[in-house]
Amino acid sequence: MTREPSPVSRPVGLTIASSDSGGGAGIQADLKTMEACGAFGTSVIVATTAQNTRGVESAHVLPTDEIDAQYATVAADFDLAGVKTGMLATAPIVETVTGYARDLDCPLVVDPVMVAASGDRLLEPAGEDAYEDLIAEATLVTPNADECAVLTGIDPEDEASAREAGEVLLGMGAEAALVKGGHVPGETATDVLVTDDGTEIFEHSRVETDATHGSGCTLASAITAQLAAGDALDAAVEDGLAFVARAIRYPLDVGEGPGSVQHLAALRDRAAREPTAEAVAGVVEALVEHDVSSLVPEVGMNVVGATPYAETPSETAAVEGRITRTLSGVNPNRGVRFGASSHVARFLLAAREFDPDLRFAVNCRFDTDVEAALGDLDWSVAEYDRSEEPEAVKAAAEGTMGWGARQAFDRSATPVAVIDRGEVGKEAIVKLVAADRETLTEHVFSLLDALGNA
């Protein structure tokens, strides 16, 4: 028996760039990213490069008539909804692509690739001058600090100078400029979006990794895919930055060099949601069957599971309403859903900053009996003192849970249990953490047994 096809409609994106034989940047990164963001990726290759995670060995530029043939073939068959450019190598290619851009009826994102993360030059000097006409056709241009200095003569070292550089790019004709701050030193990376309507600042914590090869290509492609889907520019930029931040935060350990950003991290995160929720439900079921009443705190118990790439509480699964004591044992108030926990979820996410393998956590009652039981177990136990918490931290979004996790994990190897002795109006709690559901369940049962024997 044959089956009828069920066609799926996706916006079509086009990348005009160079091939990266190492797979982390260029055309390869663009196509992976577009597919991960819901667009169908097409390509026009302008050059091939022999490169890997350690650097670029050589490059071969294709004849412009071959580039023309690729573009004409793609444009004749596909309804292009978004186009981005990457490494264009030479002035004649920049000029050729500018010709295509003038006839486009869709958003154009120009990533003015000039120097690789390894320091290898990717654009001949004459190509720098040719970029001004291409930028004039751009919906968005996405230079990093080094590229900004070449294009505008301004070295963006802070928000003010980044805004100034962006305004120069708008003066060249671009509708918008995203001046990327990843190359500017500091604890946070600041990206500045400049449009005729004003300036928008995007900040995120810097990830201490050298595995950033391909991050610029990935960002431009993610934004292109979002624009192709019809998103507004500011939303597309915000989503693109979040996409690449996760790709950098969870790099792939490949090659002999620093590795590669993980272009499919967000896609894999979404795929992990259902198994994570099922794992949390399994832990809850085991705790109910085992009747862990004596470990349930007054505020209720919660089990939290994070996806492997979780960055926010909305990407953690937990019991909605918590687990509470009843006359017949313990029961969850409701089912498991994502975003159901705030306190324990924020603690787990902060703990993952020190040990990314941690995926699960549970909060338990803490008193002198539980403390004695912990002492009988061969566990690493840490704690934090709320009296040391700065007032500014209490008012921050991350709050006490994030601060407490940092205090506990910064002082020792990964603990099994973290004690919060509470304060006036705050119940004392001990949180158990683990890399998998089975280990977390065993931890709870071990503490319960030790408590019964104390």
Which of the 8 DSSP states describes residue 291?
A: T
Q: What is the pLDDT of residue 220?
A: 97
Confirm whether 12-264 and 272-453 share one CATH topology: no
- Residues 6 or more apart from 390 whose CB is under 8 A from it? 403
Q: What is the pLDDT of residue 184?
A: 62
**96-121 burial string, b = 16+ CB within 10 Å, else e?**
bbbebbeeeebbbbbbbbbebbbeee
d(C-alpha 68, C-alpha 216), whole Å: 25
pLDDT digits (tens), the chain, 454 positions: 788 888 889 999 999 999 999 999 999 999 999 999 999 999 999 999 999 888 888 889 999 999 999 999 999 999 999 999 999 989 999 999 999 999 999 999 999 988 655 555 667 777 778 899 999 999 999 999 889 988 999 998 888 999 999 999 999 999 999 999 866 666 778 899 999 999 999 988 888 888 888 899 999 999 999 999 999 999 999 999 999 999 999 999 998 988 999 999 999 999 999 999 999 999 999 999 999 999 999 999 999 999 999 999 999 999 999 999 888 888 888 999 999 988 899 999 999 989 999 999 999 999 999 999 999 998 999 988 777 777 766 666 557 777 878 888 876 689 999 998 978 778 899 999 999 999 999 999 999 999 986 5
Q: What is the pLDDT of residue 109?
A: 98
Q: What is the pLDDT of residue 327?
A: 82
Paired with 364 in beta bridges are: 430
Paired with 188 in beta bridges are: 205
Q: What is the pLDDT of residue 444?
A: 96
CATH of domain 12-264: 3.40.1190.20
User: 0.85 exceeded by the pTM?
Assistant: yes
Paired with 324 in beta bridges are: 331
Q: What is the pLDDT of residue 129?
A: 81
| Domain residue spans of the chain | 12-264, 272-453
d(C-alpha 15, C-alpha 263), whole Å: 16
Q: What is the pLDDT of residue 188?
A: 78
d(C-alpha 434, C-alpha 361), whole Å: 6
In CATH terms, 272-453 corresponds, of 3.40.225.10, 3.20.20.210, 3.40.50.1110, 3.40.640.10, to 3.40.225.10
Q: What is the pLDDT of residue 178?
A: 97
- Residues 6 or more apart from 176 whose CB is under 8 A from it? 139, 140, 141, 170, 193, 194, 195, 233
Query: Residue 92: exposed, middle, or buried by beta-carbon count in 10 A (0-12, 13-18, 19+)?
Result: middle
Q: What is the pLDDT of residue 379?
A: 93
